[in-house]
Amino acid sequence: MSAIIVAILVVPLATSLVCLKAAARVSRMLSLTSSGATFALALALVTSRQPTAAVAGWLRVDALSVVFLVAVTFLYVATTVFAVGYVRPGASPAALRYSRRFFAGLNLFAWSMTMATIVNGLALLWVAVEVTTIVSALLVAIDDTDGAAEAAWKYVLIASMGLGIALLATVVMYYAGSTVLGGSYELSYPRLLGAAAHFPHQIVRLSFGLAVLGYGTKMGLVPVHTWLPDAHSEAPTPVSAMLSGSLLTVSFYAILRFYQVTIRAIGPNFPRELLLVFGLASLALAALYLASQRDLKRLLAYSSVEHMGILAIGMSFSAPIAIVGVLLHVLAHAAAKATAFFGAGSVIRKFGTKDIGRIEGGVGALPWSGPMLLLAILALSAMPPFGIFRSEFLIVEGGLSGGGSALPAVLVVFVTLAFGGLSWFASQTMLTPTPDGVVRGEANAWMPASMVIGLVALVVLGVHPPPQLSGLLQRAAAELGAHR
Amino acid sequence: MAAIGASPSTLTDAAEVVALLVLLSEFAMLRSSLSRSQVRLYAFQSLCVAVLAGFVAATRHIGALYALMGLSFVLKVIIVPAIIFRLLRDVRVDVTAGHRLGVASMVMLAIALSVFGIVVVGRLPIHSRSLPILALAIATAVILVAFLLVIVRNDVVSQAVGFFSLENGVSVASLVLAAGLPLIVEVAFLFDLLVAVVVFGVLMRVHHGRARTLSTRGLERLRG
């Protein structure tokens, strides 16, 4: 098992380095192979019942890591398939340079996110998340337009400031641990969790608050989400898909690691209340903003804020089933949002604009991507038979079984409001008659193929998740203290 | 550390003075109107942080902290300022783009934030054996003023320096709270900072290449 973990660490990194020098064809094939291999390796970890450590304890994989690892590597595969179609092959030196940088960056971005899920300890986790910021900021800027430069600058500055706060949270948690574990220890999860019951309450509370604020900046929680719509709309579409589907959830993973320690130290009340406040603010604001967007990719970006809000609210419900729902939501949202971004990428390329007012007749113009984008939008709005229906159902059920009915009701109202915004967009742009000048057809087979991958995953998650996966989600929920 | 032989209270006083210098240089950065002097102030502030690291290394006998002191000296006092100076030379800009608030109200706000930080931290049940608790309070004030700096200043150099000085504040806090953190982790933090500096540099160049200015006033196309 530890060989698998090391392979997951090495394969994307090596691929990224080779892509810097390789011919365009080679880097495409290599990226496809690397992403497929990494995803297969991640799946091999799904059935492992015990936490596995590697490289002298610096790496460690438990059920919670595997859930996020599967989400990240799945998106790595789907995005690479899309990117092979998205990055135009060209013989010019400029095209080759762009393609090299792009695929090197994409693999490195995927590598940094897998690393965040497999390192053992809060300090290394922070290092990995900071690396994801640095790599993705360069990818946001790669198109070299005014908008991309502006978005990349805001992103790197705001996210880095947030991560500065997250580093402070890590240092404070170290202090809390040092009162029990002595002056010099490494911040590994087993040691922290083992001793957490004796940590000083006030310090842990401070640390968790700082962690939610700091990592919440990268996760896109309102009011510290302001970089998110810009970066998502200005980045190249494959990067947007990865930002939204996996980068945000990796930051959520970081918050969950703090959550794990915090509930053992001070009980679940404080973390739940804090997450509830941020979650409600995110859900409410995003649902309202969704209705007023004119830019297709910003619309999807606000939908991400909405779903991050749902994750935070789900964690605030006490019933174990809500936590299982949250973890399933991580997977389903990754698949749905990436599929929607892929569809948006095809639409933007076809019509040459991101302006919703100027896109008409998407379904007629794009015989495959158009209908699949509609399905992805329905999936994002929690329609059956897709995965998000199941996950949100579990979250609401968990909320109801926890006692109160007001919060689940509020959740349902805002989700419905968000559905209104998304469906308005869908009917305006996709279901209208296609203008005469637009040629019917797909740019290539790769871009729709990536959407098929996403939709198949969504249906599997919605109709009948494999028992191995359900077992994994149960174990991860137990690690998060769901039995308490 | 020449002062090793001195009495503990003198040592603590000296450490508090150095920590105070960290905060004062943050204030000076906040109001400085020349990019170059901002970078110099950052270098000075980093030097103070390195001195504090050496102080903790000597008093607590943590050998790894000497290595950390050396590394952060090389990185934050020499390499980072050199990278920004080079950028400034290439783009031939020296005067910053100013700020959103007047100097007086900016400094008043910074003082209020510092007092807030110091009072709040004073109430926390924290006991450190490495540095006086006042250093943690000062670190908190530095972090808050760094946020103010990033928010009110209108050019990419000030904003980047603001982020780097925020990191200095966190470094001081970690000297107080986490002096025993394993060296490999500290090195990873510093390495991350180095990469971040390079990326900030790249993006500053991208920005200057497109906008022909280091001011961020034009960065308001994306909103809503």
Check whether residue A351 and residue A467 sit in a common domain.
yes
The residue among A83, A27, A179 whose CA lies nearest residue A453 is A83
* Surface of B (32-71) touching A: CB under 8 A: 62
Which of A245, A267, A289 is the last residue in one of the domains?
Answer: A267
Q: Which residues contact B212 (CB under 8 A, 6 or more apart)?
A: none
Looking at the partner chain, which of A138, A186, A292 has a beta carbon nearest the beta carbon of B199? A138
Please give the pLDDT value at position B2.
43
Please give the pLDDT value at position B219.
75
pLDDT surpasses 80 at B115: yes
A432 or A458, which is more confident: A458
Q: Which chain A residue is nearest to residue B207, measuring alpha carbons?
A: A149
Instruction: Mutation target for A interface from B80, B144, B200, B206: give the one with most A CBs within 10 A.
Output: B206
Note whether B124 contacts A202, CB cutoff 8 Å: yes
pLDDT-based confidence at residue B3 (cuts at 50, 70, 90): very low
Q: What is the DSSP string of A268-286?
A: SHHHHHHHHHHHHHHHHHH
A285-319, pLDDT tens digit by residue? 999 998 888 888 999 999 999 999 999 999 999 78
A176 or B208, which is more confident: A176
pTM for the whole thing? 0.94
Q: Which chain A residue is nearest to residue B148, measuring alpha carbons?
A: A161
A339 or A355, which is more confident: A339
pLDDT surpasses 50 at B45: yes
B102 burial via Cβ count (<10 Å: 0-12, 13-18, 19+): exposed
Residue tagged 């209108």 (tokens): B154
* Surface of B (144-203) touching A: CB under 8 A: 146-147, 150, 156, 159-160, 163, 166-167, 170, 173-174, 177-182, 185, 188-189, 191-192, 195-196, 199-200, 202-203
Instruction: Mutation target for B interface from A109, A125, A153: give the one with most B CBs within 10 A.
Output: A153
Longest dimension (CA), chain B: 61
Check whether residue A226 and residue A87 sit in a common domain.
no
- Residue A273 within a domain: no
* CA atoms of A250 and A246, how far apart (whole Å): 6
Please give the pLDDT value at position B96.
64
pLDDT surpasses 80 at A89: no
Chain A residues within an 8 Å CB radius of B180: 178, 182-185
* CA atoms of A198 and A211, how far apart (whole Å): 20
Helix (H, G, I), strand (E, B), or coil: what is residue A15?
helix
Chain B residues within an 8 Å CB radius of A184: 62, 180-182
pLDDT surpasses 90 at A37: yes
Dihedral sign of CA atoms B180, B182, B187, B189 in order: negative
Helix (H, G, I), strand (E, B), or coil: what is residue A482?
coil
Check whether residue A323 and residue A391 sit in a common domain.
yes
Please give the pLDDT value at position A124.
92
* CA atoms of B97 and A223, how far apart (whole Å): 27
pLDDT surpasses 80 at A428: yes
Q: Cα torsion at A46, A52, A57, A63 (round to 10°)?
A: 50
Check whether residue A98 and residue A200 sit in a common domain.
no
Mean pLDDT of B42-61: 91
Mean pLDDT of chain A: 92
A202 touches chain B (CB under 8 A): yes
Q: Phi first, then psi: what are they for A390, rounded to 5°?
A: -60, -45
Note whether B192 contacts A203, CB cutoff 8 Å: no
A178 touches chain B (CB under 8 A): yes
Q: Would you give the distance in Å from CA B194 to the centre of its chain?
A: 14
Q: Phi first, then psi: what are they for B182, rounded to 5°?
A: -55, 145
Helix (H, G, I), strand (E, B), or coil: what is residue B34?
strand
Please give the pLDDT value at position B94.
63
Check whether residue A283 and residue A261 sit in a common domain.
no
Number of domains chain A is built from: 3
Angle of CA points A424, A430, A434, to nearest 5° = 135
Q: How far is CA B171 from CA A179, B26, B135, B179, B208, in A?
A: 20, 14, 11, 10, 30
Please give the pLDDT value at position B47.
95
Check whether residue A321 and residue A463 sit in a common domain.
yes
Which residue range(s) make up the domain with A454? 278-484
* CA atoms of A44 and A53, how far apart (whole Å): 15
Please give the pLDDT value at position A482.
66
DSSP designation for A89: -
A347, A426 contact by CB (below 8 A):
no
- Residue A182 within a domain: yes
Identity of the residue numbered A4:
I
Note whether A138 contacts B126, CB cutoff 8 Å: no
pLDDT surpasses 70 at B44: yes
* CA atoms of A454 and A340, how far apart (whole Å): 9
Please give the pLDDT value at position A356.
86
A228-283, pLDDT tens digit by residue? 999 999 999 999 999 999 999 999 999 999 999 999 999 999 999 999 999 999 99
Looking at the partner chain, which of A147, A167, A182 has a beta carbon nearest the beta carbon of B222? A147
Domain range summary for chain B, segments of one domain joined by +: 8-211
Note whether B202 contacts A138, CB cutoff 8 Å: yes
Mean pLDDT of A399-409: 85
pLDDT surpasses 50 at B113: yes
B117-174, pLDDT tens digit by residue? 989 888 888 888 778 888 999 999 999 999 999 998 888 888 889 999 999 999 999 8
- Closest-CA distance, A58 to chain B, in angstroms, reads 11
% pLDDT > 70, chain A: 99
Check whether residue A353 and residue A400 sit in a common domain.
yes
- Residue A15 within a domain: yes
Which of A71, A89, A116 is the last residue in one of the domains?
Answer: A116
- What the block records as the tokens of A350 is 């076809």
- Closest-CA distance, A78 to chain B, in angstroms, reads 27
Please give the pLDDT value at position B6.
55
Please give the pLDDT value at position B98.
67
Q: Which residues contact A380 (CB under 8 A, 6 or more apart)?
A: A303, A307, A333, A336, A337, A340, A388, A422
pLDDT surpasses 60 at B4: no
* CA atoms of A348 and A333, how far apart (whole Å): 22
Which of A240, A267, A294 is the last residue in one of the domains?
Answer: A267
Chain B residues within an 8 Å CB radius of A185: 180
Q: Which residues contact A45 (CB under 8 A, 6 or more apart)?
A: A1, A4, A5, A52, A61, A66, A69
Helix (H, G, I), strand (E, B), or coil: what is residue A441?
coil
Could you tell me where the DSSP H helices lie in A119-247? 122-141, 146-181, 189-195, 201-219, 227-234, 237-242
Check whether residue A108 and residue A71 sit in a common domain.
yes
